[in-house]
Structure 1
Amino acid sequence: MEVVIVPSADEAGRVVADIVAGALATGARTLGLATGSSPVGAYRELARRHREEGLSFAGIRAFLLDEYVGLAASHPQSYARVIRADFVDHVDLASDDVHGPDGATDDVLEKARRYDAHLRAAGPLDVQILGTGANGHLGFNEPGSSLASRTRVKTLTQQTRRDNARFFPEGEQVPQHVITQGLGTILEARHLVLVATGRTKAAAVAAAVEGPVSAFCPASVLQLHPHATVVVDELAARRLQLADYYRHVAAKKLPGQGF
């Protein structure tokens, strides 16, 4: 695992955009997309590079991490809609090449299984962008999730629902359930890139990076992956005990070493 500490959330977005652009330049054809506040800066920077520098996503297949159960794809807070507003509508990704779990169907358990099969058939995702919650959830794998779990229906914690309530109109309840890629599913991607920004993520980042690998902090599963990059701003890094070493590693990279 490599930990990259940068001064600001904007710089974190630029580093993640560098990773994605570099992967595309070397032949990546599949991309995993996360929603939430932390990846937005990366999507904004990728859209700018598409608009101003010609970065192209044509022919790339994209796969979402998760989706609320019970929200139609047209709902403003469905992740199918959010990812389009945050990213897809600003680049040249074809709509038919953006895939996600269907949480609006009556048989969500079967839809979760089918989505997992779809991901496996697509082959390992080349780059999977990730965020984490204040409780260390990864995707919507809440604390207690099996480290080998597959795509399935999960019940959200009250903390996660409170954290996400700000995205919903006043009086509208955050759904109780989601379809999420499992931790085992996420680990199959070739390169995991987690971005976390802000003071509220500091405890989760420290637990994920320097704590034990544990279902109590699902994001700690990144420690088991052979190619994981964690990009954090100074606020999210403030509880890291080895922060000085991570900065030293970044400063002493060999030419062409990359992330």
Structure 2
Amino acid sequence: MSVQPIVLPDADAVGDAVATTILDRMAATDGAHFLLGCPSGRTGMPAYRALARHAARGADLSRLVIVMMDDYIVPGASGTFQRVDAGLPYSCLGFAQRKILGPIAEVSALAPAEIWVPDPADPAGYDEVIAAAGGIDLFLLASGAGDGHIAFNQPGTPRDARTHVTPLGEATRRDNMGTFPEFTRLAMVPTHGVTVGVDTIAASSREVIMVICGEHKREAYARITAAEQYEPDWPATVVVECKNPTLIADHAAALTEK
């Protein structure tokens, strides 16, 4: 089943709508925590800025658990992988600390207390922790512009994939050069990542919001709005098989006039 898009004027309007939805969903639950699945990079930034603005006006985000989708990894001791240092500008854990949690904590004492990131030494453990917490209440999703990757799930990823370590294709790595300007040449981008799986997203979340903004995401918009089911060559199409999906785009991505 295809997902009908909501098209808003620009990325800031999209971010405001996403943040409002997050707060509405939190208000409708009374649990000890609210798990928010989060991408790093440009796509989520308008929503994260909007959440900080709400926090400055008194919104209580202390129940929010920031569940990151993925992170870059590098070879460690004995042939194993480890996450890149959180102090690096392209670390997804560092991104969550600096770009999501940090601005909220600066303006409010009612900031999120937890950030979760998958561990390359125990990928399956991430799915177990999410399941033990009752699943992800709301997952924000983004699509790669060049190859349709979602999190670090590469083209060809099986529909039943769970959290795993994966090599990163050149298209994904080039997309991430745009996400993190610190990558000034392809050789600087790590070649592997640890990522939630396609099925982790679909099976473990109660609701998802796919965000598509900018002219560079027009192919992503076209592929996802046309999809009727998961298409392995464009993994972000899994959104059509998720529970309670919403697709929000800006005019630039949707090729519509403001």
Matches within 5 A, 1:82-231: 82-91=95-104, 92-95=110-113, 97-102=114-119, 108=120, 110-134=121-145, 135-166=147-178, 167=180, 168-170=182-184, 173-187=188-202, 188-213=204-229, 214-231=231-248
- Letter aligned with residue 40 of structure 1: M
**In structure 2, what is the Cα distance between the partners aligned to 1:50 and 1:2?**
30
**In structure 2, what is the Cα distance between the partners aligned to 1:59 and 1:10?**
24
Contact 2:96 2:115 in 1 (8 A): no
**In structure 2, what is the Cα distance between the partners aligned to 1:43 and 1:113?**
28
Cα drift, residue 17 of structure 1:
0.9
Cα drift, residue 196 of structure 1:
1.2
Say whether 1:49 aligns with 2:62. no
Can you list the C-alpha shifts for 1:181-201, whole angstroms capped at 9, x where unaligned? Answer: 001000120010111101111
Number of paired residues?
Answer: 232
Cα drift, residue 114 of structure 1:
1.6
Contact 1:72 1:78 in 2 (8 A): yes
Can you list the C-alpha shifts for 1:134-161, whole angstroms capped at 9, x where unaligned? Answer: 1211111111111111000111110111
Q: Provide the TM-score with structure 1 as the length reference.
A: 0.84
- Letter aligned with residue 111 of structure 2: L
Cα drift, residue 73 of structure 1:
2.1
**In structure 2, what is the Cα distance between the partners aligned to 1:169 and 1:156?**
15
Alpha-carbon distance change, 169 to 144 in structure 1, aligned in 2, over 3 angstroms:
closer
Q: Provide the TM-score with structure 2 as the length reference.
A: 0.84
Say whether 1:67 aligns with 2:66. no
- Unpaired stretches in structure 2, ≥5 consecutive residues: 75-83, 105-109
3-state SS, counterpart of residue 193 of structure 2? strand
Contact 2:209 2:247 in 1 (8 A): yes
- Unpaired stretches in structure 1, ≥5 consecutive residues: 103-107, 245-259
Cα drift, residue 2 of structure 1:
4.2
Of all paired residues, the percent bearing the same amino acid is: 30
Can you list the C-alpha shifts for 1:199-237, whole angstroms capped at 9, x where unaligned? Answer: 111111211121343101111111112301111001111
**In structure 2, what is the Cα distance between the partners aligned to 1:50 and 1:16?**
14
